[in-house]
Structure 1
Amino acid sequence: MNTKRLSAALEKALSEQMNVELYQSHVYLSYGIWASDEGYDGIGNFLFRHSLEERNHAIKFMEYILNRGGKPTVTALKAADKDPKNLKECFDRVFKHEVENTEKIYNLVNIAFEEKDWATWNFLQWFVKEQIEEETLAMDLIDKLKIAGGNEASDESLFNLDKYLGQAPDDAELARDATSEKP
């Protein structure tokens, strides 16, 4: 008896996204190594934690595919981009990666919708929400660096930014979660 509850096309697309999430983990790991090597251990720690979060996203896709009777396919990862030249380039790349990932998630949602695979469509809503957080977090990185002075930031500003990001929560504060008591 065939127990697969995913179409071949959706199974392939979900596997591809699992590999995208693994690549994202790879990229964050690479950026964290770069930041630590540059002396930004707090920023490196922040990026290492984010690398683990991206890996966990890949595991979510893997488990979902398996739970729906499919078999995920792991592919080789391409090398991460060359090291950024500075923190601005690093944070800009983080934002770019997150926007590209959001577009891939939206494509999966469209496929699930077109196939009327409501279980997969529902599963993907978690990732839609997650990408809002991811993009917000990336924009926050860019904003905090701008406030610190951007590429012309003083050593003291960069020290404080590094310290802050080393201890910062991994989740972004979202405007939709604001209340009058907690703006």
Structure 2
Amino acid sequence: MDQKVYELINAQINAELYSAYLYLSFADYYEEEGLEGYANFYEIQAAEERDHALIFRNYLHENGQKVKLSAIAQPDKTFSNFLEPLEAGLEHEKYVTSLINDIYSAAAEVKDYRTMKFLDWFIEEQMEEEDTADTMITKMKLFGSDAKALYDLDQEYAARTYTTPSPLAAAE
């Protein structure tokens, strides 16, 4: 495996684990504010991000590479209203998309078709993640100031259940 591609994938493991920490902090905020459905949504997001880290970890192992774990930064965001975590989530997902794109570009430069194919799932996933984050922002802007509508949104997110990502499920 090309050294640059390896380093970017290894760094992505840490980025995904940081995402899990970040989303747990969002879940904590919503839990403390009494929005348990939003907390549930972000607890599941945190689990998915951890799973993404495991998928990248497995990929490195499957390609004979050593995984080098590094410290995970502490999330430093604080929030003063229900919209702010949602906006921070969309911003973060766009950042993660840029990281995935960087790995893909590095793989394309060295004609690492295996890695490019591997990343296809993440490219689709990031498109979905950004769309979901954007939709949550829109709904909060439209309905968040109405207590009954906010309650209904919270109930919608409380119904979300965890599903093992397909690349991880296939590895089991």
What TM-score do you get using the length of structure 2 for normalisation?
0.90
| Kept after mapping to 1: 8 A contact 2:23/2:43 | yes
The CA RMSD measured in Å over matched residues stands at 1.4
Give, in whole Å, the separation in 1 of the partners of 2:4 and 2:90.
29
Q: Percent identity, please.
A: 33
Classify the secondary structure of the residue corresponding to 2:75: coil
Q: Does 1:60 align with 2:55?
A: yes
Give, in whole Å, the separation in 2 of the partners of 1:62 and 1:159.
39
Q: How does 1:24-35 map to 2 (within 5 A)?
A: 24-35=19-30
Q: Does 1:79 align with 2:71?
A: no
Query: Could you tell me which amino acid in structure 2 is paired with residue 108 of structure 1?
Result: I
Give, in whole Å, the separation in 2 of the partners of 1:129 and 1:157.
31
Structure 1 stretches of 4+ with a deviation exceeding 2 A read: 168-171
**Equivalent of residue 159 in structure 1, options 109, 134, 151:** 151
Q: Which runs of 5+ in 2 are unaligned?
A: 164-172
Q: Does 1:130 align with 2:125?
A: yes
Query: Could you tell me which amino acid in structure 2 is paired with residue 72 of structure 1?
Result: V
| Kept after mapping to 2: 8 A contact 1:11/1:72 | no
Classify the secondary structure of the residue corresponding to 1:73: coil
Classify the secondary structure of the residue corresponding to 1:140: helix
Alpha-carbon deviations, 1:143-183, whole Å to 9, x = none? 1112204xxx0222221111111114679xxxxxxxxxxxx
Q: Which runs of 5+ in 1 are unaligned?
A: 1-5, 172-183
- Using CA pairs under 8 Å that are at least 6 residues apart, name the structure with larger relative contact order, 1 or 2: 2
Give, in whole Å, the separation in 2 of the partners of 1:112 and 1:70.
15
| Kept after mapping to 1: 8 A contact 2:40/2:160 | no
Q: How does 1:1-183 map to 2 (within 5 A)?
A: 6-149=1-144, 153-168=145-160
Classify the secondary structure of the residue corresponding to 1:78: coil
Query: Could you tell me which amino acid in structure 2 is paired with residue 147 of structure 1?
Result: L
Report which of the two structures shows the higher radius of gyration computed on alpha carbons. 1
What TM-score do you get using the length of structure 1 for normalisation?
0.85
Alpha-carbon deviations, 1:65-91, whole Å to 9, x = none? 010010111110111123221111110
Classify the secondary structure of the residue corresponding to 1:79: coil
Number of equivalences: 163
Classify the secondary structure of the residue corresponding to 1:116: coil
Query: Could you tell me which amino acid in structure 2 is paired with residue 164 of structure 1?
Result: E
